[in-house]
Amino acid sequence: MKLRTLFTIVFVQASLLQNVWAFSTRRDVDITGEQRIQVRVNSFGYPLEEHFVQTADGYILAVHRIPHGRETGDTKQPRKIVFLMHGLLCSSNDWILAGPEKGLAFLLVDAGYDVWMGNARGNTYSRNHAWLTPKGSEFWSFSWHEIGVFDLPAMIDYVLEQTRETSLHYIGHSQGTTSFFVMSSVRPEYGQKIKVMHALAPVAFMSNAPSPFFKALAPLVGSAGTMEKLFGSHEFMPNSELFEIGGSLLCKDEALTQDLCANVLFLISGFDSENLNKTMIPDIMAVTPAGASANQIIHYAQGSSGKFRFFDYGLVKNTFKYGSLTPPEYTLQAITAPVALYYGNNDWLAGVKDVQELAGKLGNLLLKYEIPFPKWNHLDFLWGISAKELVYDKVMEVMSAYP
């Protein structure tokens, strides 16, 4: 599929949303994006805490915690710690949208875990900084490299300090796996703080990703000017009232355009209509996209090189920053934490061949588990109808073996 075709699809959707905006300025819920997770979690009878963590380079990140379930109350009995990290353009909302009995955060807390959910710099909940502002370009001068080097260590250290524990289980989805591999390669000492890293839809290598979007971008990667024109150099797709209103009107069950909404998700992640609960689409669009830096997208596009490496700034800046014309590769062999890989055969972003290559280079591979459903795609790991039975039960089985 040509890049022009992909952009046409995106522009058609944007035009529809603009029409919705023109005819409706009423919000279905009178709460801000920042409040939504609190309201949703509390509505199910669970407590939610919001903590703030400052990174070494000044970003102030929100970490959400569900300390116990509905029935257990505010018990002082120690609970096992698990840290969840979202993917690209997402937030901690990923883990709770499906609700109790379905959402991973709720399943874990009901199983006796103390659940902490991170938010990367630049998303809906992490748009503050000690001295920079999101209105300035310097705030957005990062990719998922900095999320791995600065954000994850700061949040993990904070969680362990607050709970007085020495290690935790880590569950990441998509970019939440990429940033972990960065952290564990560049700062391998964090391996001792991880009981098991559970990688859902793991992304490191991307040269075999079936995604038509990334295939279309691959020829443009060498041209920094073209990539910047496409994505800009600042924020990329922040959370917007436009998406929320459009989702609530265009993607609801009664809407004739609901299938268009579903197809946009499938174009990103892979087609699997059997596992998509279409009723959830307005809820998904109310909180996603949650914002990111354009460099995060560009860094992934650079994966078409077939290598998992630092951000490529171009020959001149690479020489100044790295001392070489090309960026260095991440040393996956240096990762000491046990890693369990969970992948789908129909994932358009974490291709099977790329996952196989990752598995062969990890320093401590614990498990490589293919989801036993041939159409399982990238977003099914979060919101698939069968996610509990096909993924989460297996994850919790592995977790119970490493208490």
Q: Enumerate the β-bridge partners of residue 82.
A: 115, 169
Supply the pLDDT for residue 237.
78
Q: Is the pLDDT of residue 187 over 80?
A: yes
pLDDT, position 50: 97
Judging by beta carbons within 10 Å of its beta carbon (0-12, 13-18, 19+), is residue 253 exposed, middle or buried? exposed
Q: Which tens digit of pLDDT belongs to each residue from 191-227?
A: 999 999 999 999 999 999 998 888 888 777 765 567 7
Contact 391, 344 (CB under 8 A): no
pLDDT tens per residue, range 18-28? 333 333 333 33
Query: How far is residue 289's CA from residue 135's CA, in Å, rounded to a whole number?
Result: 18
Instruction: Measure the CA–CA gap between 115 and 222, rounded to whole angstroms.
Output: 41
Residues 251-288 pLDDT 10s: 998 888 888 898 888 888 999 999 999 999 999 999 99
Residue position matching structure tokens 């995106």:
10
Instruction: Kindly state the average pLDDT of the residues 63-89.
Output: 89
- Residue carrying structure tokens 């559970």: 198
Statement: the pTM of the whole predicted model exceeds 0.75: yes
Contact in structure between 275 and 375 (CB atoms under 8 Å): yes
Helix (H, G, I), strand (E, B) or coil at 255: coil
Q: Is the pLDDT of residue 395 over 80?
A: yes
The yes-or-no verdict on residue 102 having pLDDT over 50 is: yes
The better pLDDT of the pair 249, 52 is held by: 52
Tell me whether residue 299 is one of the annotated catalytic residues: no
Half-sphere exposure of 187 (CA within 13 A, CB side): 19
Q: What is the pLDDT of residues 295-326, one digit of tens each?
A: 999 999 999 899 999 999 999 999 999 999 99
Decide: 119 and 91 in contact? Cβ < 8 Å. Answer: yes
Of the candidates 94, 347, 354, 380, the residue annotated as catalytic is 347
Q: Taking residues 74-84, what's their average pLDDT?
A: 86
Q: What is the pLDDT of residue 222?
A: 67
- The DSSP code sequence of 117-137 is E---TTSTT--EESS--TTSG
Task: For residue 349, give the nearest of 279, 297, 395 by alpha carbon.
Answer: 297
C-alpha distances out from residue 211 to 3, 140, 224, 271, 300, Å: 12, 25, 21, 11, 12
Burial (CB count <10 Å: 0-12, 13-18, 19+), residue 295:
buried
Region 317-338 average pLDDT: 97
Query: CA 203 to CA 387: how far, in whole Å?
Result: 19
Q: Is 345 helix (H, G, I), strand (E, B) or coil?
A: coil
Structure confidence at residue 225 (pLDDT) = 64
Q: How would residue 247 be classed by pLDDT, with cut points 50, 70 and 90?
A: confident
347 is catalytic: yes
CB burial of residue 201 (10 Å; 0-12, 13-18, 19+):
buried
Residue 378: active-site member? yes
Residue 5 to residues 2, 8, 10, 212, 237, Cα–Cα distance (Å): 5, 5, 9, 10, 19
Which domains, from first to last, does the chain contain? Answer: 3-24+31-401 (3.40.50.1820)
Q: Are 387 and 380 contacting, i.e. CB atoms less than 8 angstroms apart?
A: yes
pLDDT at 46 over 70: yes
Cβ–Cβ < 8 Å for 133, 234:
no
CA gap 377, 258 in Å, rounded: 19
Quick one: CA torsion of 313, 314, 315, 317, rounded to 10 degrees?
-40
| Cα 95 to Cα 377: distance, rounded to the nearest angstrom | 17
CA atoms within 13 A on the CB side of 102: 16
> 127-166, pLDDT tens digit by residue?
999 999 999 999 999 999 999 999 999 999 999 999 999 9
Catalytic residue among 91, 126, 174, 179: 174
* Dihedral class, residue 156 (left if φ above 0, else alpha if ψ from -120 to 50, else beta): alpha
**What does the pLDDT read at residue 224?**
57
Report residue 230 CA to chain centroid gap.
22
Q: Residue 236: its pLDDT value, please? A: 84
Hey, which bits of 22-73 come out as E strands?
A: 49-54, 59-66
State both tokens at 312.
């490529």
